[in-house]
Structure 1
């Protein structure tokens, strides 16, 4: 794999990184999972301060990524104003967004969101805390957005995926599984959710994000998240053409110690071991999923 020598850099907000990544960054590389928390917009749940577009531009400078996908956080409920504003700030040609909505959203609002760069709807249900949506809304909303060509992005537990197998198999929209489908350790790919998600990926209408290595790791950053390696590599073997990578910046679930974003970026090199596969995950796959132009 191509690697560049690490060099000192200035600290970036909400990150422990103090050097640039060792891995080189291909042109048009996409960070397919990040959140913006802007104090100009009214929050309805606890938020992270100073996680603005200006802050994220420093993350992009660190990683060398150009394209971005902003995922609506729980903080703003179903008011997607902050996410739309962030898309506009970063640039509509290189940025997309994932909204949070209720099934009663109007057709006019859906059209405005689509014009503003929204390409999917997220159901973050791995915990009930501050959840703005519920499982009872999934199928109805999927049918509302199907004509737009949007997808459903699912941050559920592995057990929740298995419990809702029948629902997942009949949904009319593409699916995107957050954070490696949250397979719990030490079982990892032995969990039945791995087989279920693999089946959905094989159908060619679903995707998975290689992101959030710290969410289920037991050894943590001190162990370079090595216990996640078998899970990530299993996904790379199973469906390299259906994977995207995301930073999960600003790492809201890690309030006491922010992860090293350079390390998180280098993990993709570690997991793939192949420049062509890595390029596919960083550039080609997100271009297909989110509709970025091949410029």
Structure 2
């Protein structure tokens, strides 16, 4: 199966348990030609609009979503805010900001549904690690979190700082823990420790970014995902990473969602917790 916006009937198999009400895709991006890319943007994918994503939702059976400002727009969150307005109360957002943001702007973003600040230090970074701690202090009264997408070398360098934060940390894409090292890599111990202290979350997303064995099963990712589940099941959420802007060959979104079911090894309450209760707590739906 190819393409991220095929009709629901094209989803693999009828044996996958239906999703619970309010299931949430906690990581996707919107790209809309009405909003110009930042001059320094490295990724400039074709349009991936709210209407296109609604087709994905119908196919998957998800109802809630978290829109993450992509690197394409730098610190301009206009496209994400427009998407939140279109989606309504079933969506929340993650902004990209630097330390020049005003308190009034933070309050405006909060009212619009923003719930965190992303530091994408892996692709097209427009912010720096030294901005994380001062911004974390400013967003703490809003109940937001810091979301990080960073190479594991940077994660190891910043581990002490991340432990000092008084807001939760959300690690993108399986915390970018490299394979085949997986659970034996020092980054796993860092993420697991923070999760078990309820100070961090991990997004079960981007299996194709980590896998060495590849599609469709991404078999080498399963043990890592399951180890994270065993470590702190209440600190996990799932995301599609639609429209997969780094990938020339787009993965199938239904297959990515079905991976979560397989990782849960038949534990349907665990899958449903990752899709509903955990996101509701993290993003305040």
TM over 0.5: yes
Report runs of 4+ in structure 1 exceeding 2 Å deviation: 10-13, 15-19
Measured in 1, the distance between the counterparts of 2:117 and 2:193 equals: 22
Give the SS at the match of 1:221: coil
Unpaired segments ≥5 residues, structure 1 = 1-7
Contact in 2 for aligned 1:33/1:246 (Cα 8 Å)? yes
* Shift, 1:12, TM fit: 4.0
* Shift, 1:47, TM fit: 1.7
Measured in 2, the distance between the counterparts of 1:11 and 1:279 equals: 25
Measured in 2, the distance between the counterparts of 1:262 and 1:28 equals: 17
Aligned partner of 2:183 in structure 1 is 189
Alignment partner of 1:48 is 2:39:
no
* Shift, 1:18, TM fit: 7.8
* Shift, 1:131, TM fit: 1.1
Aligned-residue RMSD, C-alpha: 1.7
Contact in 2 for aligned 1:123/1:152 (Cα 8 Å)? yes
Aligned partner of 1:205 in structure 2 is 199
Contact in 1 for aligned 2:202/2:235 (Cα 8 Å)? yes
Measured in 2, the distance between the counterparts of 1:11 and 1:122 equals: 27
Alignment match of 1:238 (pick from 228, 231, 234): 231
Unpaired segments ≥5 residues, structure 2 = none
**TM-score normalised over the length of structure 2:** 0.94
* Residues 217 and 12 of structure 1, relative CA distance in 2, 3 Å threshold: closer
Aligned partner of 2:242 in structure 1 is 249
The 5-angstrom pairing of residues 1-295 of structure 1 reads: 12-13=4-5, 19-22=10-13, 23=16, 24-44=18-38, 45=41, 46-91=43-88, 93-127=89-123, 130-222=124-216, 224-254=217-247, 256-273=248-265, 274-292=267-285
Deviation by residue 1:249-295 (Cα, 9 ceiling, x = unmatched): 000110x2100111100000000120000010000000000011xxx
Contact in 1 for aligned 2:3/2:252 (Cα 8 Å)? no
**TM-score normalised over the length of structure 1:** 0.91
Give the SS at the match of 2:191: helix
Measured in 2, the distance between the counterparts of 1:17 and 1:264 equals: 14
Measured in 1, the distance between the counterparts of 2:12 and 2:170 equals: 26
Give the SS at the match of 1:195: helix
